[in-house]
Amino acid sequence: MYSLAEENYLKTIYHLEQESDGGVSTNAIAERMETKPSSVTDMVQKLAEKNVLSYKKYKGTTLTKTGKKIAANVIRKHRLWEVFLVDKLKFHWDEVHEIAEQLEHIHSEELITRLDKYLGHPDFDPHGDPIPDKNGHVKPTKKKLLSELSKKQRGVCVGVKETGSEFLQYLDKRNITIGTKIHVLGKEFFDGSMIIQVGRDQFFISKKTAENLYVQTN
């Protein structure tokens, strides 16, 4: 059984590994977890002893197979709970992260099995992120950033990169949510901004916005 702190480290390292493959640096972990590098060193050494990650002094860390599985399982729980909060309790998708951050550490296999079933075995959480299966496997998705689209292309919003409340509320004001169809009417080379159509509305979005929205094209 892993402690709350251990689970959070594993989860963070898992995410960092995916974002830029190769070993994860001590500082990167510290920054993401809003803690100090020295604390990270301590914990990472402890986790290495438990064989959930491999660690060489000054060389960064990588999760072992076991570590990946544990991390994916925490993420699975997090995302399933998010689905519960949004689908069943009618929370807004920008309100659920913090609560799921707590719920992901509830220990009970059976609970998650039943929750998954109760929710209808969802494949994605309310932000469009894939939910790992029992064994920690994630279906590879072919989503891309809205900013990668060019003029006249169309896509369906399948998720967000940035999950801050401000951003999600901004999207809401624009009526952009999971499943929303987006049509790129124009794109400015100069600053990467776009004119897009959403439903009947046409409006301007910045490069920054376009770089934080995932779409599926087909």
Select the span of 47-55, 82-90, 145-153, 173-181 touching its own copies (CB under 8 A).
82-90
Is 20 a binding residue for DNA by CB under 7 A? The answer is no
Distance of alpha carbon 60 from its chain centroid, rounded?
22
Check the CA dihedral 59-68-99-20 and report its sign: positive
| Number of amino acids touching its own copies (CB under 8 A) | 18
Select the span of 33-41, 55-63, 105-113, 122-130 touching its own copies (CB under 8 A).
105-113
Is 213 a binding residue for DNA by CB under 7 A? The answer is no
Is 28 a binding residue for DNA by CB under 7 A? The answer is yes
Is 58 a binding residue for DNA by CB under 7 A? The answer is yes
Closest distance of CB 102 from its own copies, Å = 5
The H or E element containing residue 204 is: strand 201-205
Query: Contacting its own copies (CB under 8 A), which of 30, 91, 197, 211?
Result: 91
Looking at 126-215, list the stretches that DSSP marks H as alpha helix, in order from N- to C-terminal side.
Answer: 165-173, 207-210
Between 106 and 185, CB nearer to its own copies: 106
| 3-state DSSP assignment of residue 150 | coil
> Rounded to the nearest 5 degrees, what angle is found at the Cα of 182, between the Cα atoms of 208 and 159?
60
Is 218 a binding residue for DNA by CB under 7 A? The answer is no
Is 109 a binding residue for its own copies by CB under 8 A? The answer is no
DSSP code, position 202: E
Between 99 and 145, CB nearer to its own copies: 99
Q: How many CA within 13 A on the CB side of residue 82?
A: 26
Bridge partners (DSSP) listed for residue 46: none
Give the Cα separation of 124 and 110 in Å (integer).
Answer: 20
Contacts to its own copies by CB under 8 A: 85, 88-91, 95, 98-99, 102-103, 106-108, 110-111, 114-115, 118
